[in-house]
Structure 1
């Protein structure tokens, strides 16, 4: 609005003379201006205009004002002179924050993957190092029965032992391999507990092509093949796999575990086995453990007492091997699996799954999930052409092997399988 329009009357025709007063602040004039020529004088009664002090000049925005009086941004990239539109200036990105939690999580995942790989690879690699031999017997064999039956043999082989080790272990220097323990491992396909069934090594049995003799003579005459054939004919069970471990391997396995906890039922002192232990629960190292499972002449039960201690100790070994302290420590797990494989012989038709079934049954004995049995016997000291021998209780032995072959569940030891002679 121009200055001469600040206060003027509304055009003619209005009922009253009404004036519009501009209340916007303007620079104060030094003296009131006179009305321009030809304009109407202010009506009587109008307030005189008060001169105002001029406001300080404000910096004009480069882009001017919008219709509401708000400042507008400058146009163009040349300070508002109409140049080309400038690109918006990007604010600098803040530095990326390091995420230590993510790195820790990644490290944990890598460690877990590595642990799983070692845990799985150790038994597989150890299995590739075991010695194999043909253990399948010739001739007619029993038909396959329920589940699986394996032959586990502890031999007195000194292979791999130095002269110092032989002396420390008290094994002597005999050449070749002879059976020190013979155990049938039966794993049923259905219900019922698996079982370890010890066969006394002095059992007097028919040996194919050799007449009757002690069962360990079959191993001396024809090795694993003849031993398997002899036991198949005597039991009527088809043997599905064969595992043998020697003296040196047994001692190394125990030492790889840092010893094995065992509860000794009585004081045992046996010079031939280099054993002198007291009654009570204790940790046995490799040489002491070997003496514990070999001691025979100091046991009132003779060969049956030794077989009982062997089954007890095998269960304790596998219990220790299955503890987190062994499985979760990669180098200890690797040491155990490879020590076990160092002096092991397996049949050519024996698979890693077969070995797992055998080891699993041994472990279950220590927790009463498997049965620890012995072939029923009638005489522990019978006089035969082979000398003092063990005679089986033929009727009870036949019943036991029939139950295993037919898959009859074994939830408790059958009569006569505790090692007590029937007296028949």
Structure 2
């Protein structure tokens, strides 16, 4: 039986260019957002920021939601290649890639009383438009590369194809984040490697604290234990280290969060806000490295937050099911439960997650087995969850019961909110037989299916029946219940207040 794997024609995320390129913290953009009232004195900032049109916003979900993206770009915000000395300072190699390894959603409730920066692990296994289930950092890179290839083949120049493809990648990432979190993304900000180094150096370095000494050559992270002040190049190594950490990517995220908190605290200090030279240097760093959506007036927005205290700026991570998940084809992933993520994100604005429209559609859940020869029923099974091997488990159960098992793999269409049986008509005996065998799943219609064809899409809510249904060719009834790993408990929130950096792994 084939494993749950994406169809061969689905673009996969690009492989990392090198270990040294993994991840960049996005502190520059975050500081711009939460402390931006300081920029009011810099007249040239608004006119010199790089902008893109994305057509965001328009939703009412109790908060203003800003998507912050860190890329490993080797150009500045205006598309100019970095100099050799700047590339050397990045310690990131020369190979060019399109990875978005730092993804943060900032929630600002409508009353402006707080701001929560929510980290989304780069390996979170989610639904990506045009790809299906995949790591979320594939949304931008894989979409961009597929679109660029299509445009070049259609006769577009390399420059035009690059620009349009990048736009498609950004749109796919925005949609992926919105689908995972249940929010309407209102604004978008992007920063490359250079901006992180420039901003850190502009404030005179940032204070961090390590629980133990570090010597990890892949990221260039070599630091003693305890408190220390890092300049831009060393800071980049600090936030990029992923190997030799007890919790892998989650510990890397915590490093990014404590760094951002420390940086925000330093920018908020009087020594920075009252120093024209530092403000000009910060402004120059932002202009060279930050890309914003064109509908966002960052200066006007920042003035609304000028009363925000450092302690009201918090850094957290979305709920995670398993940090060591793997797909059936061997890819390492971070398993997440979208329902738990949406509930958590909504709670930050004092709201409840919006009900998924698909849960209100008409349905039939049969309870009795129809008089039908199940061997004549062709069934495809698709996995729409991050639970490894779920489609294979369900396929085995159906095959043991005598059904004609067809394609088994990962779901590549629109994500569903719960496990569902699809058929051409809701009164299909074939669909009823499959539903009863699987413990009573709802049946919905899909006009693209032929009469007699059945497709099962299973999500993380599926639990196999403890015994076989009343099928006339019932088998032994033994089956495996898909179980989710124990949820990973989040650490305490990190904020931009306090008198010193939190010590971390």
TM-score, structure 1 normalization: 0.62
Cα deviation for residue 354 of structure 1 reads 7.2
For 1:239 and 1:342, the matched residues in 2 are separated by 24
Tell me which residue corresponds to 1:241.
187
Cα deviation for residue 148 of structure 1 reads 0.7
**Cα–Cα, structure 1 residues 357 and 265, in superposed 2: closer, same or farther, change >3 Å?**
farther
Cα deviation for residue 198 of structure 1 reads 0.5
The root-mean-square deviation of aligned C-alpha atoms, in Å, is 3.0
**Cα–Cα, structure 1 residues 405 and 368, in superposed 2: closer, same or farther, change >3 Å?**
closer
**Cα–Cα, structure 1 residues 142 and 207, in superposed 2: closer, same or farther, change >3 Å?**
farther
3-state SS of 1:152 partner: strand
Tell me which residue corresponds to 1:399.
343
CA contact under 8 A between 1:158 and 1:171: conserved in structure 2? Answer: no
Tell me which residue corresponds to 2:374.
none
Higher relative contact order (CA 8 A, sep 6+): 2
1:121 maps to which of 35, 41, 62: 41
Cα deviation for residue 270 of structure 1 reads 2.0
For 1:152 and 1:358, the matched residues in 2 are separated by 19
Cα deviation for residue 418 of structure 1 reads 2.8
Tell me which residue corresponds to 2:302.
356
CA contact under 8 A between 2:318 and 2:341: conserved in structure 1? Answer: yes
User: 1:17-416 alignment to 2 at 5 Å?
Assistant: 120-122=40-42, 124-136=43-55, 143-159=59-75, 160-190=81-111, 193-220=114-141, 221=143, 222-353=168-299, 356=302, 367-384=310-327, 385=329, 387-404=331-348, 406-407=350-351, 416=489
Unaligned runs of 5+ in 1: 1-117, 409-414
Cα deviation for residue 119 of structure 1 reads 6.8
Further displaced range: 297-306 or 246-255? 297-306
Residues 138-176 of structure 1: per-residue CA shift (max 9 Å, x gap): xxx883211211111111111143233323322112224
For 1:401 and 1:191, the matched residues in 2 are separated by 16
3-state SS of 2:92 partner: coil
Question: Over alpha carbons, which structure has the higher Rg?
Answer: 1
CA contact under 8 A between 1:134 and 1:225: conserved in structure 2? Answer: no
Unaligned runs of 5+ in 2: 1-37, 76-80, 144-167, 353-487, 494-505
Residues 50-88 of structure 1: per-residue CA shift (max 9 Å, x gap): xxxxxxxxxxxxxxxxxxxxxxxxxxxxxxxxxxxxxxx
Residues 359-391 of structure 1: per-residue CA shift (max 9 Å, x gap): 979x85xx4323321111111121125710001
TM-score, structure 2 normalization: 0.53
Cα deviation for residue 219 of structure 1 reads 1.0
For 2:341 and 2:239, the matched residues in 1 are separated by 25
For 2:350 and 2:134, the matched residues in 1 are separated by 29
3-state SS of 2:54 partner: coil
Further displaced range: 170-179 or 222-231? 170-179
